[in-house]
Amino acid sequence: MNEQGKVVAVCVSASGGIPRYATSVVELTPQGVVGDKHRYIEHETNERAVSLFDAEMYERLLIDGQSPPPGSVGENVTVCGLGLANLPEGTEIALGDAVVRLTRPWAPCYAQHPESGKTQPNDEKLSGWFAMVTRAARVAVGDVANVS
């Protein structure tokens, strides 16, 4: 399998929780995203160092009739074109020069719009992935995302 997509957002939150805020570039390490804080202790493991979510899922998760921006469900990396929900555990994805391995499906509880603060439950259980970092590097908006 060799599918290609794109990194459409990279997001961090110094205080943890939801939402995370878009930035232009992040540094992925085995411990997670530099400058990002996990809010809950159960997330503080290298197998959940990074969270990924499909940009396409935001079209189904509406707040006041509009798609919220990336980071609204708390993900670190938002990708398009990969169909994360269809990938098996253990899949490796190159995000620019970094490589992550999918370790556990992740269904966020809700989305929170960063500007209005309004929330929307994830009633459809739209899911992304937790992943471990197998090759540390910087990841930027626009980087290629390759499944191999």
User: Which long-range contacts link 115-124 to residues 24+ away (Cβ below 8 Å)?
Assistant: 116/63, 116/64, 118/63, 118/64, 119/63, 120/61, 120/62, 120/63, 120/68, 122/61, 122/73, 124/60, 124/61
Q: Can you give the residue range of the structural domain that contains 41? A: 3-147
User: What are the C-alpha distances in Å from 15 to residues 19, 62, 83, 93?
Assistant: 10, 25, 29, 27
Contacts of 42 (CB under 8 A, 6+ apart): 48
Q: What is the DSSP string of 114-144?
A: TTT--EEE-TT---EEEEEEEE-EEEETT-E
How far apart, in whole angstroms, are the C-alpha atoms of residue 92 and residue 3? 11
Average pLDDT on 92-115 reads: 92
Please give the single-letter amino acid code of residue 16: G
Number of domains in the chain: 1
Whichever domain contains 97, its CATH number is: 2.40.33.20
Percent of the chain topping pLDDT 90: 61
At residue 3, the pLDDT reads 86
Q: 38-76, pLDDT tens digit by residue?
A: 754 555 678 989 999 999 998 888 888 888 999 999 999
At residue 102, the pLDDT reads 98
- The mean predicted confidence, pLDDT, of the chain is 90
> Residue with structure tokens 């970094």?
98
Between 90 and 117, where is the model more confident? 90
User: What are the C-alpha distances in Å from 11 to residues 2, 34, 52, 80, 141?
Assistant: 25, 11, 10, 15, 10
Percent of the chain topping pLDDT 70: 95
At residue 42, the pLDDT reads 56
At residue 125, the pLDDT reads 81
SS3 of 41, please?
helix
At residue 121, the pLDDT reads 84
pTM comes to 0.91
How far apart, in whole angstroms, are the C-alpha atoms of residue 99 and residue 137? 8
